[in-house]
Structure 1
């Protein structure tokens, strides 16, 4: 359930972001908030450094401090720029499509894919598709290679108890170096994923999706586990060197 003061604050921020500056009357009209409420929220935003008063006639505008709120998004774009050529070469060499994902609001969101360039792909695009954390290869790799603190926080946010079975699963993934999706017996597709990590921080995860008729998990792990791990390591090094 949304916390009302937070919702109202973001309504003001969004209204201010749509124009160079705005008066109290404009903000109150656009957000449908009472004028005294707008005044209080603006006072808080000014005190925190996210807004400033231009003048009595022009009203308020956002400050460049709001750009810091998008640091995570900018980093994802940076990661995609670095990872894309490496992923493209992998797909050219091995044929299978790759997917780069990052964690986003209780799921893994696909940020980049070589599906359109893969002769073995079963889809042309997957951008912004969301993959479940607990059952998807990307999410399982993320959890396994996260710090203990982050892992527990993610599971807590999902409402999942961190029990002995999950701890054993994650320890096995760390030992193997890669994770597989949890799929039903009749599922046609399977995924194997590795984590891009640096200094105990997971930057993103890469998965390769393949048809189960083409190979088993054991074969996929033996054949592609090491190349995928090397790919992730190269990307992590390139990110750190930028």
Structure 2
């Protein structure tokens, strides 16, 4: 069919490709599976897969290394505001935590704040021979009982800590009593800041056989994300893990922070 204002035929492939980009730019998590893209665009799954291959080849879409989801790439920044700021962190950090895996063998997660929790944006669980989990992307971790959450909470500004505590105190969750315990909070912050990393050793009830250490990623004088190292507590203590691996973890963080400063991204919105 010809458009009344132009003699040229409408490009169906281009229209479908743009529809996929539109869905990816509006998904709450910033990523989507082929099945979701097919459902939301009305395009057959096979066609969606073919179009994604083209968009990846042209640099506008990337496939997660952790699962089968797809997300917008840096290049889309030149076209619109469709990419969330956290996606910059995820994309920059993904190769870095891949390198970390080569040194540690234990899996790591890249996490960003999501309400009064942190959410896993990228992970090396899928690639670690020592991993005891696989489907970790988009899993939420509590702030006060996980190393990744504590690394955010203990190193963010005091005002933000108070805001986060108020949210947790209002929740009906296992960590709510901890948020009301002023002594626990003070000791947690002091210990974490003094040792330079956060830790947990089976403190999260859902994963009581797991231990971890974690460090924050800073950008523009604020905590932008955290990276953890996860292991079984009967094999390693957090102290032993820090002795062996904290230098590698900090090296990864410094590299990510350096790349973030080169990109000079705009954080935009308030996190709380």
Q: What is the TM-score normalised by the length of structure 2?
A: 0.59
Q: Are positions 1:179 and 2:198 aligned together?
A: yes
SS in 1 for 2:216: strand
C-alpha displacement at 1:87, in angstroms? Answer: 0.5
Mapped partners of 1:100, 1:221: distance in 2: 18
Q: What is the TM-score normalised by the length of structure 1?
A: 0.66
- 1:191 pairs, out of 200, 203, 212, with 212
C-alpha displacement at 1:197, in angstroms? Answer: 1.1
C-alpha displacement at 1:162, in angstroms? Answer: 6.7
Cα–Cα, structure 1 residues 212 and 182, in superposed 2: closer, same or farther, change >3 Å? Answer: closer
C-alpha displacement at 1:175, in angstroms? Answer: 1.6
Mapped partners of 1:188, 1:182: distance in 2: 8
Mapped partners of 2:248, 2:223: distance in 1: 18
**Residues 201 and 210 of structure 2 are in contact (CA less than 8 Å); yes or no, is this contact kept in structure 1?**
no
> Can you give the 5+ residue segments of structure 1 that lack an aligned partner in the other structure?
1-16, 18-66
Partner of 1:166: 185
For these two proteins, the number of residue pairs brought into alignment is 174
C-alpha displacement at 1:165, in angstroms? Answer: 3.1
RMSD: 2.2
- 1:221 pairs, out of 229, 242, 247, with 242
C-alpha displacement at 1:199, in angstroms? Answer: 3.6
Alignment of 1:1-242 (within 5 A): 74-159=84-169, 160-161=179-180, 163-181=182-200, 183=202, 187-242=208-263
> Can you give the 5+ residue segments of structure 2 that lack an aligned partner in the other structure?
1-25, 27-79, 170-178, 264-272
C-alpha displacement at 1:167, in angstroms? Answer: 1.9
Mapped partners of 2:159, 2:250: distance in 1: 24
SS in 2 for 1:181: strand
**Residues 80 and 112 of structure 1 are in contact (CA less than 8 Å); yes or no, is this contact kept in structure 2?**
yes
Mapped partners of 1:149, 1:182: distance in 2: 27
Cα–Cα, structure 1 residues 179 and 215, in superposed 2: closer, same or farther, change >3 Å? Answer: same
Is the radius of gyration larger for structure 1 or structure 2? 1
Mapped partners of 1:94, 1:226: distance in 2: 11
